């Protein structure tokens, strides 16, 4: 084997990872500048825009496919690490039992309102100024904003086969704009909160104390910090082992859908691979429960999961996917169909933010800002952008907001199931689909607003906790 630069397969991945790392380091240095510091822009977001600018300045340092691959796998790895963490009894006892289902219903209702707005715009344009416009193109708004580039690409490609010229690019454009909107809205939201004095962070006073105590790093009954294998190596090995198990789980589930018919099988399979982070999280939870059972039965003597290290792994993964997700935006696909693209993007952003501000005040009264900011980030961009914005208020995930994104995404599969057939029906009957979406959204809102289960204990609000006090 040649170890020189001529062996591109040997060096390519590591060179591109080095470029991503350099963008993060440069962004972190720039974030110390007073102007950028006042903007409250996360380092990962700034790093993503730096790398995007480098790509379109003509520097061929990193390719699109590699960026998309890192983004895809990074989301799963981050949430697997979070799901392997040991849940504290106090944290569990203070949680709302309906937080997961209601977060799932909230996500599904966002899909519905985005679908209604998108279809209303595409139908208006198709019957007035743009008669050639594909009437069901508006249903791609919740695919791009709510579910990300994967589903937007899949549904857009499916619509291309039904006569929507440029459907795939249109879906990807909406996903790209949604990602940008999530970052911009998040930064603006953070600045508004700080100017109004509604958030208090240790970094604002310059008193950042980042202490790692023995209790954080070494809980009772855990494996030693280092013996024959390093403790961090064990955490990384567990995360990757769960991810491999998740891969084979999805392969098995995909094979079981073969008997449902080609169209339904393709839709379900695309959902499984598109939401691989949910499958990974479920497998991780099962492994965590297995370990707990083995310890109770005294078969396993030590606790292998370490919350501090797993949080660091998830934090690293989320930082990376924000950079690669922004850098992977293809500006060229934004040129076509710009009128419906602009109208849908504005309506989707404004409508989603206003709706979430109203509903989150009722759902998450104890951590309203954390809940709203994280949901806005996810429902405009991806779950990764929701997490990175949340970390500006809740760096140690002290509130249930991060867990709501994860558990809610799982529950949203059930609540969002009735919307899936509408995607297939929309090209033939777009008007009835708007009516069905409106009725379903009304039912979801009734569930969110009328079914009230108060928390047994008030969870801590991250914006009132100094960074040094998080576990």
Long-range contact set of residues 84-92: C-beta below 8 Å, sequence gap at least 24: 84/235, 84/238, 84/239, 84/242, 84/284, 84/287, 84/288, 84/305, 84/310, 85/288, 85/305, 85/307, 85/310, 85/311, 86/219, 86/288, 86/303, 86/305, 86/307, 88/471, 90/457, 91/400, 91/459
pLDDT band at 106 (very low <50, low <70, confident <90, very high): very high
Q: What percent of the chain has pLDDT over 70?
A: 83
> Which pLDDT value is given to residue 460?
40
End-to-end CA distance of the chain: 47
> Which pLDDT value is given to residue 463?
37
d(CA 31, CA 341): 32
> Which pLDDT value is given to residue 227?
66
Higher pLDDT, 226 or 274: 274
d(CA 182, CA 204): 23
Residue 141 clears pLDDT 80, i.e. is over it: yes
Top mean-pLDDT range of 42-51, 247-256, 328-337 = 247-256
Quick one: which of 85, 70, 60 has its CA closest to 13?
A: 70
pLDDT band at 452 (very low <50, low <70, confident <90, very high): low
Quick one: which of 115, 110, 114, 126 has its CA closest to 339?
A: 126
> Which pLDDT value is given to residue 107?
93
> Which pLDDT value is given to residue 347?
94
d(CA 33, CA 73): 32
Average the pLDDT over each of 243-252, 433-442, 449-458 and give the range with the smallest value. Answer: 449-458
d(CA 343, CA 339): 6
DSSP code per residue over 384-404:
HHHHHHHHHH-TT--STHHHH
Residue 225 clears pLDDT 80, i.e. is over it: no
Phi and psi at 303, nearest 5°, equal: -95, 125
> Which pLDDT value is given to residue 461?
40
Q: Tell me the mean pLDDT in the region 105-127.
A: 94
Residue 130 clears pLDDT 70, i.e. is over it: yes
Higher pLDDT, 180 or 264: 180
Q: Tell me the mean pLDDT in the region 112-141.
A: 93
pLDDT band at 40 (very low <50, low <70, confident <90, very high): low
Residue 203 makes CB contacts below 8 A (sequence gap 6+) with 467
> Which pLDDT value is given to residue 138?
93
Residue 214 clears pLDDT 80, i.e. is over it: no
d(CA 365, CA 149): 31
Residue 91 clears pLDDT 50, i.e. is over it: no
315-327, pLDDT tens digit by residue?
Answer: 888 888 878 877 8
- Mean pLDDT over each residue of the chain, to the nearest integer: 80
Q: Is 156 exposed, middle or buried (0-12, 13-18, 19+ CB in 10 A)?
A: buried
Average the pLDDT over each of 156-170, 251-265, 327-341, 433-447 and give the range with the smallest value. Answer: 327-341
> Which pLDDT value is given to residue 346?
94
**Cα three-residue angle 397-402-405, rounded to 5 degrees:** 180
DSSP 189: H
pLDDT band at 150 (very low <50, low <70, confident <90, very high): low
Residue 57 makes CB contacts below 8 A (sequence gap 6+) with none
DSSP 58: T
d(CA 260, CA 78): 32
Q: What percent of the chain has pLDDT over 90?
A: 25
Residue 19 clears pLDDT 70, i.e. is over it: yes
**Residue corresponding to tokens 């040094």:** 468
CB burial readout 366-392, b (16+ within 10 A) else e: bbbbbbbbbbbbbbbbbbbbbbbbbbb
Q: Tell me the mean pLDDT in the region 200-211.
A: 50
pLDDT band at 9 (very low <50, low <70, confident <90, very high): confident
> Which pLDDT value is given to residue 171?
82
d(CA 259, CA 168): 28
Residue 269 clears pLDDT 90, i.e. is over it: no
Average the pLDDT over each of 153-162, 194-203, 436-445 and give the range with the smallest value. Answer: 194-203
The SS3 of residue 226 is: strand
pLDDT band at 333 (very low <50, low <70, confident <90, very high): low
**Is residue 395 within 8 Å of 467, Cβ to Cβ?**
yes
Helices (H) and strands (E) counted in the chain, each on its own, are 21, 0
Residue 60 clears pLDDT 50, i.e. is over it: yes
Higher pLDDT, 132 or 241: 241
Phi and psi at 130, nearest 5°, equal: -130, 70
CB burial readout 22-59, b (16+ within 10 A) else e: ebbebbeebbeeeeeeebbbbbbbbbbbbbbebbeeee
> Which pLDDT value is given to residue 186?
85
61-74, pLDDT tens digit by residue?
Answer: 888 888 888 888 88
**Is residue 470 within 8 Å of 398, Cβ to Cβ?**
yes
> Which pLDDT value is given to residue 462?
38
d(CA 187, CA 182): 9
Residue 453 clears pLDDT 90, i.e. is over it: no
């Amino acid at each position: 084997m040649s170890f020189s630069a001529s062996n591109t397969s040997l060096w390519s991945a590591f060179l591109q990872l080095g470029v991503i790392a350099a963008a993060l380091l440069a962004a972190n240095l720039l974030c110390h500048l007073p102007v950028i510091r006042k903007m409250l822009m996360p380092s990962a977001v700034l790093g993503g825009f730096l790398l995007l600018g480098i790509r379109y300045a003509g520097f061929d340092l990193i390719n699109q496919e590699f960026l998309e691959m890192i983004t895809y796998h990074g989301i799963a790895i981050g949430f697997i690490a979070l799901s392997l963490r040991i849940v504290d009894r106090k944290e569990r006892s203070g949680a709302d039992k309906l937080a997961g289902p209601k977060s799932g219903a909230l996500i599904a209702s966002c899909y519905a309102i985005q679908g209604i707005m998108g279809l209303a715009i595409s139908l208006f344009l198709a019957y007035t100024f743009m008669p050639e416009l594909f009437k069901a193109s508006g249903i791609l708004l919740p695919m791009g904003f709510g579910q990300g580039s994967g589903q937007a690409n899949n549904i857009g490609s499916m619509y291309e086969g039904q006569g929507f010229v440029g459907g795939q690019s249109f879906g990807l454009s909406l996903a790209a704009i949604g990602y940008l909107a999530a970052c911009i809205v998040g930064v603006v939201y953070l600045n508004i909160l700080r100017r109004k004095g509604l958030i208090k962070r240790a970094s604002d006073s310059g008193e950042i104390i980042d202490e790692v105590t023995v209790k954080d790093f070494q809980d009772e009954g855990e494996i030693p910090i280092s013996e024959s294998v390093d403790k961090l190596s064990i955490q990384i090995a567990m995360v990757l082992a769960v991810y491999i198990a998740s891969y084979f789980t999805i392969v098995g589930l995909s094979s079981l859908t073969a008997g449902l018919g080609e169209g339904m099988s393709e839709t379900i399979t695309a959902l499984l691979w598109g939401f691989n982070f949910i499958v990974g999280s479920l497998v991780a939870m099962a492994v965590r429960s297995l370990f707990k059972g083995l310890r109770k039965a005294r078969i396993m003597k030590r606790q292998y999961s370490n919350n501090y290290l797993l949080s660091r792994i998830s934090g690293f993964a989320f930082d990376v996917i924000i950079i690669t997700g922004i850098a992977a935006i293809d500006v060229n696909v934004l040129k076509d169909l710009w009128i419906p693209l602009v109208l849908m993007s504005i309506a989707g952003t404004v409508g989603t933010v206003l709706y979430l501000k109203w509903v989150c005040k009722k759902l998450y009264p104890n951590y309203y800002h954390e809940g709203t900011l994280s949901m806005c980030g996810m429902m405009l961009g991806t779950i990764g952008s929701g997490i990175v914005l949340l970390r500006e208020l809740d760096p140690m995930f002290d509130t249930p907001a991060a867990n709501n994104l994860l558990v809610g995404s799982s529950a949203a599969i059930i609540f969002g199931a009735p919307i899936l057939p509408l995607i297939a029906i929309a090209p033939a009957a777009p008007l009835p689909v708007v009516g069905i979406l409106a009725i379903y959204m009304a039912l979801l809102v009734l569930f969110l607003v009328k079914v009230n289960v108060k928390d047994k204990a008030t969870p801590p609000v991250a914006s009132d906790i100094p960074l040094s006090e998080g576990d």
